Amino acid sequence: MTLKNALGAIVVEREFNQVQLTDKRQLTDVVDGLHRDVLIAEGRLEPCVIAALRNVAQEKAFDSAR
């Protein structure tokens, strides 16, 4: 998926697999991640918030790997 701004510049580019789009929990994570990435790209998140979100994402990845 590629999201572009009004000028056609790429803002966010991501690849997803079928499971991420069909599993409700994973789809929620996809949408949350896209929302976060757009906010970051627009400069609407403070660096401390970005760091906190990364920590949460890493914890989710760790928990799902167990």
Residue 9 pLDDT class (50, 70, 90 cuts): very high
| Nearest-angstrom CA–CA distance, 52 and 32 | 14
List, for residues 21-55, the tens digit of each pLDDT value.
Answer: 999 999 999 999 898 888 888 888 787 887 888 88
Q: Which residue has the tokens 């990845």?
A: 61
Nearest to 33 by CA among 10, 50, 48: 50
| Nearest-angstrom CA–CA distance, 20 and 26 | 5
**What residue ranges do the domains of the chain occupy?**
18-65
* pTM (whole model) above 0.75: no
Q: What pLDDT is recorded for position 57? A: 82
44 CB burial (10 A radius; 0-12, 13-18, 19+): exposed
| Nearest-angstrom CA–CA distance, 35 and 3 | 11
Q: What pLDDT is recorded for position 65? A: 66
